Structure 1
Amino acid sequence: MMKQKQGSMVGMNQSGITGLETAIILIAFVVVAAVFAYTVLSAGLFSSQKSGQAVYSGLKKTQSTLKLAGAVIARDTDDNDYVDSIALPVQLALEGEPMDFTPNSGTTTGLNKVVITYQDSSQWKEDLEWSVNKLGSADSDNLLEKDEIFEIVISDLENGATNGLDTDLGRKTTFNIQVKIPEGAVLEVERTTPKSIDRVMNLN
């Protein structure tokens, strides 16, 4: 009788140990599953956050983009058959933040945020001096805002002048002007001068 009781107690102890091991294994599975779920959720949230940041950054750059707002005008003020100034009107492409157009000329030389570059088949001129005319309803400050049009004027292009080109811009010459802004796409304007250089030329 005692042997039967002892055998029964041993069986109960073994059953208890087996149940405890099973519970420990189940708890371990639950913990691992929770950690895995947290990791996946965190990765998803991080990915969503990065995607949101990328979209916001792209939108901000798009809103900071410039576009032409009219004809590109070249002038030969001294009638020597070479272009000595180019003017291009610009405005914001979308309703973005105001853009600082402090000119690179006169008392504000070197304080400009917008950089203008000239290129043709024989030369590359970086960071030209330029001035700005506020057209239409634009106010007097140097911030290009919604519905405003600024005319960028690049003067003194003839050899020996302030922005003097190594080779003067004459007839039937293709050139490229880049307007580089602090944040956003570069505005590139490519034009070709006509076969006859006049005092005022519409290059559109």
Structure 2
Amino acid sequence: MYTKQRGITGLETAIILIAFVVVASVFAFTVLSTGVFSSERAKETIFAGLEQTKSSLRPSGSVIAFRGYVGSTEAIFKFSMVVEAVDGAEPIDLTAPYTADGSGTDPDSSVTTNRTSIVYIDDNQILQNVPWSVSFMGDDNGDNMLDEGEKAEIQVWLLNRTTGTAVTANSSVNYMASSTTGLTSSGTLLTPNDQFTVEVQPADGEVLTVRRTLPAALDSVVNLR
């Protein structure tokens, strides 16, 4: 009496083995691809974080404050500070939203597109994107980019001043128009003994923060070392 015997041939075994190998290869490729993609994304995130946190600007010299009068009240109407790029930093766009050309009232132009903004802070107010103007010093290649080795004088405007006469002990200054982001009549003037902070915020890189305290008596020009 014959009994049926069933089994698998060598060809079937080979097919099954190949199927396992193919599936394992696809799975391994997927895992490796995911790992490489995740590593690349992590590297990009790290580099982006470093780019945002590393310093790109540094002060060069003192902060100079200029005194004027709103009526009979003496107050600071402008700051001046010299900045330079940190060695190895990318060029910084210092296209100013205002100009100060010595005619009319400074700042005397409408706001234009600018990538660097300046914030003014004291105990009474925060002024976002305050008016500022810039002039490059020394070795300048003629554009608005602050390159390595260049220096620029940034003038931060809190109030308007007519520039027909030089800064004197009785310089008359006025509040900014309500359409600007400078100090308006609803704000608080910056007067003796007040503390303030100016933040220069470039499009990329760390914010340059400058904190100073005004002396008890103000000269026409005050050197805030």
TM bin, normalised by shorter chain, reads 0.7 to 0.9
Gaps of 5+ in 1: none
> 1 CA distance for matches of 2:77 and 2:41?
48
Percent of paired sites with the same residue: 38
Q: Contact between 2:76 and 2:158, CA under 8 Å: does it hold in 1?
A: no
User: What is the RMSD computed on CA atoms of the aligned residues?
Assistant: 2.8
User: Which one has the bigger strand percentage?
Assistant: 2
Does 1:188 pair with 2:209?
Answer: yes
Q: Structure 1 64/190 Cα, relative in aligned 2: closer, same or farther at 3 Å?
A: closer
- AA in 2 matched with 1:164: L
Q: Structure 1 175/102 Cα, relative in aligned 2: closer, same or farther at 3 Å?
A: same
Partner of 1:149: 151
Partner of 1:34: 25
Partner of 1:45: 36
1:164-202 Cα shifts (integer Å, max 9, x gaps): 351111111111112122223222222111222122222
> 1 CA distance for matches of 2:175 and 2:32?
65
Partner of 1:93: 86
Q: Structure 1 156/34 Cα, relative in aligned 2: closer, same or farther at 3 Å?
A: closer
- AA in 2 matched with 1:72: V
**Rg larger in 1 or in 2?**
1
- AA in 1 matched with 2:138: G
Task: Point out the more displaced range, 95-104 or 23-32.
Answer: 23-32
Match of 1:49, SS?
Answer: helix
Match of 2:76, SS?
Answer: coil
TM-score by length of 1: 0.80
Does 1:167 pair with 2:163?
Answer: no
TM-score by length of 2: 0.73
Q: Contact between 2:127 and 2:183, CA under 8 Å: does it hold in 1?
A: no
Q: Contact between 1:63 and 1:94, CA under 8 Å: does it hold in 2?
A: no
Misfit runs of 4+, over 4 Å: 18-21, 77-80
How many residue pairs end up in the alignment? 195
Q: Structure 1 129/150 Cα, relative in aligned 2: closer, same or farther at 3 Å?
A: same
> 2 CA distance for matches of 1:159 and 1:188?
26
Deviation, structure 1 residue 144? 0.8
> 1 CA distance for matches of 2:27 and 2:73?
77
Q: Contact between 1:136 and 1:149, CA under 8 Å: does it hold in 2?
A: yes
> 1 CA distance for matches of 2:176 and 2:28?
69
Q: Structure 1 115/74 Cα, relative in aligned 2: closer, same or farther at 3 Å?
A: same
Q: Contact between 1:74 and 1:200, CA under 8 Å: does it hold in 2?
A: yes
Deviation, structure 1 residue 153? 0.4
Deviation, structure 1 residue 19? 4.5
Q: 1:84 aligns with which of 77, 81, 92?
A: 77
Gaps of 5+ in 2: 99-107, 160-172
Q: Contact between 1:159 and 1:167, CA under 8 Å: does it hold in 2?
A: no
- AA in 1 matched with 2:128: E
- AA in 2 matched with 1:118: Y
Task: Point out the more displaced range, 86-95 or 53-62.
Answer: 53-62
